[in-house]
Amino acid sequence: MIKDKFVTERRVIILGGYGNFGKRIAESLAMLLGVTVIVAGRSIKKAQILCQELSSRGAKAHLEPAFIDIDQPGLTEALASLSPDLVIHTGGPFQGQDYRVPSACIALGSHYIDLADDRRFVCDIISLNEQACANNVLIVSGASSVPGLSSVVIDRFISQFSRLDEIDFAIAPGNQAERGEATVRGILSYTGHTFLVLNNGKWVNQYGWMSPRKLYFNEVIGKRWLANIDIPDLELFPRRYKPVTSVKFQAGLELPLLHLGMVFMALLAKIGLVKNWSKFTKLIYTSSELFKGFGTDTGGMQVNLSGLDENNKPKQITWTLCAEKGVGPYIPTLSAIILAKKLLTETIDVRGATPCLGYYTLEEFDQEAIPLGIYHQTEVSIG
């Protein structure tokens, strides 16, 4: 349980604090006493507007807007001037970013959390582990739906298997749910490009946004189209959950027209007609917004685990998360919010640099998710 009071006044910088995910983290942390929430980014005006909105909605924390451009020289000095105890980095896309932000935090003695979904960025964060330990800080990458929440779900159920063979999971957002341009850019960067996945005990190449299929989630979401997505879990989970032999992840767009259009774009990249779709991000993002009135505001996440039970009989556990009424974009923020509260209340003493794997429990997730109307169900089949 999270302590009611903070040990001392804490200062939190949210980079990209007025963005799609940052504003939701700011909204949650703004309700804490004994905290200063600094909404930071390249637009001081947007930061000021969000601070005013949160204040008008009864924020308990002290709110400050700040200008910070992570791509400009003097980042360490800019962060130092705000004296943070914790920096939460939401400024994606993380594809192609270096470690200037977490490195600056280590130099300052500030904890760091990000919502990165880029495979290399998250998996290689351990390169900063020695420096983080030396400066007594926690540096966590991937505090989002994956691998933050996905690892928590698997950790919850893995003890029910004598042997876990396959992890097959997926995310399907509603078309009307709010999305950010940075997320679109990240996905487009590997559309039609290869990445390695573990399949039946062998590492093989898959193409981004190809291998389309339909998956049933539940009676509310129904069936949704999915396609291959490159995420850190594909590399992290084979090591974490040995002797698993297959790890598969897909995601999709609710509208078949948009989803299959992405599959066609992937095909064009695969055959070499388009090298990198991410340079067309603004055009593609703007075009997709024209379809915002179609589909639903309901999305979900599903984790399928297959293996053997304690009697060596085939067993499958299906965990399905559902988010209605447009609350889906909160899900990627909850891992960061939970971990931030643990750091702010000093209820976690882990130090070092690491991907976000198993840093909280499913019960702690529910404490944040249920008030938002986010719920989940579990089905178990044996034989």
Q: Which CATH architecture fits 10-144+329-370? A: 3-Layer(aba) Sandwich (3.40)
Q: Which of 6-20, 48-62, 129-143, 200-214 has the lowest mean pLDDT?
A: 6-20
Q: Quick one: CA dihedral 216, 221, 223, 228, positive or negative?
A: negative
Distance, CA of 323 to CA of 174 (rounded, Å): 9
Distance, CA of 8 to CA of 50 (rounded, Å): 25
Q: Which of 8-12, 101-105, 240-244 has the lowest mean pLDDT?
A: 8-12
Burial 104-116 (b: 16+ CB within 10 A, else e): bbbebebbbbbbb
Where do the domains of the chain lie?
Answer: 10-144+329-370, 146-327+372-382
Q: ∠ CA 302-304-310 to the nearest 5 degrees?
A: 145
pLDDT classification of 197: cutoffs 50, 70, 90 = very high
Residue 200 token pair: 């039946």
Residue range 107-136: mean pLDDT, rounded: 97
The distance in angstroms from the start CA to the end CA of the chain is 38
Read off the pLDDT of residues 309-367 as tens digits, 9 standing for 90 and up.
999 999 999 999 999 999 999 999 999 999 999 999 999 999 999 999 999 999 999 99
Q: Which CATH architecture fits 146-327+372-382? A: 2-Layer Sandwich (3.30)
pLDDT classification of 3: cutoffs 50, 70, 90 = very low
pLDDT classification of 2: cutoffs 50, 70, 90 = very low
Residue among 190, 227, 177, 191 nearest 332 (CA): 177
pLDDT classification of 8: cutoffs 50, 70, 90 = low
Read off the pLDDT of residues 218-276 as tens digits, 9 standing for 90 and up.
999 999 999 999 999 999 999 999 999 999 999 999 999 999 999 999 999 999 999 89
Residue among 321, 311, 320, 304 nearest 382 (CA): 311
CB 316 within 8 Å of CB 305: yes
Residue 4 confidence (pLDDT) above 70: no
Percent of the chain topping pLDDT 90: 89
CB 223 within 8 Å of CB 213: no
Read off the pLDDT of residues 35-52 as tens digits, 9 standing for 90 and up.
999 999 999 999 999 999
Read off the pLDDT of residues 163-181 as tens digits, 9 standing for 90 and up.
999 999 999 999 998 877 8
Cis peptide before 173 (omega within 30 of 0): no
Cis peptide before 238 (omega within 30 of 0): no
Residue 1 confidence (pLDDT) above 70: no
